[in-house]
Structure 1
């Protein structure tokens, strides 16, 4: 186990993995998804050049060049983008694939009368263009990794020899960033393990400010300590972050493979809700399409509401409130102001009630029709929210004088997905304030049910049902 190292003390506290900028987990991308996009772009570019050569009456040469180049790029790892691969090495592999493609085309052009200058130059330009594209692809991946957008962040529970194995594997492979270690036996724990700082005990982990940037919590106690693992899962299961177990079996190659699976979300997952990259991209695309359409339709209405709010009472048009987002990230949610400015309650210490004296005349109407929520379309555009998801609650919101998050053990589970403009709970009748312990439990239960069932079609159903549910509900206090 490592102790404190020399060199820059600030660097020692931050650890060897800490990226220059911490990126919220909602903004994390997967290199393999980008690689698929790059491959599709390559196929389109190769097809365009092949058509050009075919038009010049060399269909066989075009087909051989295109097929051989694509097979070569795939076989030589042109879309693998290993973490420690240099640009020169990547372009070298690409050059081999391009060379094989040109050689295949040359075979078709060898018979007398088949060779012409235009075809040769077209294929050479195509090869140069593809090499340039791969220079761009490599740069995008390298920049994303340097910014922390492509490498998952984890924290480790257990300052053990097992944790040291995990960190050693992470250093070899570069598959994950290990931001810190937590251990309940701080009196026996070192200041750091191989440079990764020990940040506190598991109680500190639950509310640590670094957690919105953590993709996974990895338990690294000895795999034989089953009772200890169960205790940790029970305690840490309240977190929105997925939990994984690192098993100390095998040698360095097995450790490297386990870390790669943890990075991909497939290694001994103990809790949390896994969402594939495909589902995440599909949901984001759905959000953008619906939001842009919504802004186009609701733009004039938003302008009228803004003018009405300004004329109705003194104060700003918008009300901004810090709320919990994905993985407990703090986000600034926008609404049209519906209360008197001097009586605004950013912490939601007092929830809305019927005939609330804080609400303005215009505020009553826009709250009743939910028009006050329309500015949250901009939160969706920024990627902080989705169209459909658990409604974001104010940080520190209270129910009956007690912080709402403390009334339900699974409260943070609703943060395993981006908050939504509307949601499953909303169309099932759980709208407005959660002013009793029972209403908090119902809201959380419905939110968790949605997270477990979430799909493209369920989201469409919620979107379609939102308007009739709002118009048909005259009893909910909003």
Structure 2
């Protein structure tokens, strides 16, 4: 009898805000918004391509020769793929319209030379008729891209407003008035991604007051009969994972509900901000260090390395030839210098460089780092080290897959800072090896390049490298490559 009275009190004491949230529900999802936007982009590409083709050739698309249509078709496919691969259809919880618009503009600017290159290749294979189609494809890509950038900017503005109105937030209830539940409620208020309708706990006498005016609504039986249950998108079990018997008991009872039930991972003292959820086989796991491999990202980074690395090698070939001749004339010994360095997952590889030291003083283990006016360095060596031209042979490493164009700079195995090995000075040093090393990197463009002579300098470089690994993307790579030359030319203080 007492419990029935308590339940009625709860039902009659629902705040108006709770009723509104529950009645509204979370029937809109950002993923659906993204799919709709992708469909709209495809429609824009098709209509613009057909319009440009019709105006330029005065021919109907359906009756035009295949040789004329191929550049246009591949141009449209290229633009659509680049837009998709740059995550333009996956929005943040609170999207920034300017950032999203710039990201869309970057994708379009990348698509333009790609479309022109594909069109030129088709023209070489098919003939002069396709060459005209290649020019039209580039115009169509520019026009369609301009419309798409505007659409994405407006979409991000609209989505941000809808998110602030709560249209995309998941309605959830939490089972267990635990410290983890308190943390989830605080995070929900900060992110706006979920709306906590209330908390249920079968141990009411132990429950403490909840933050942000969230109500304790009853026990599990109250949850089962709660009138707003149809509007709940997730039931979150926030009980400590160490209390296995209680977790199993709760989950067994909640599984009879039609709502999706999820178990919040408390990690028992681990920093959840550095934790990523993934799977190994059929079992869910929490990554407390590193993250699940992103096969798509790795594939596109490899494509980027092969395409841009090949172009860079072709452009650098005359300079490399002159450097090789100068090294040979300046001092006896080989043109190239190979040094064992740590690469991806601490694997050793041969890093190629132009030889800049005299053969008899070559330091393969970097036991003694280079100093100002180092007598071991040759005359040509001083010039190519100061300009970083000695690093150009690492393009061979990029093409054979042991290095990337952008990443943490590879250090020699056993490299010392003072009397200690550099990797022993900073606990997170090995984290640098979670991706392939690069010819340039985030640390390099921020002035952390060349020898490191103190534990503080090692820590600074590692911090830059870890920041890059966390935020790595195609656009960040392109920005780093763009900044590399000015950073090198403007750096007069680093000893190299």
TM range, smaller chain = 0.3 to 0.5
Q: TM-score if structure 1 supplies the norm length?
A: 0.46
Higher normalized contact order (CA 8 Å, seq sep 6+, divided by chain length): 1
Structure with higher helix content: 2
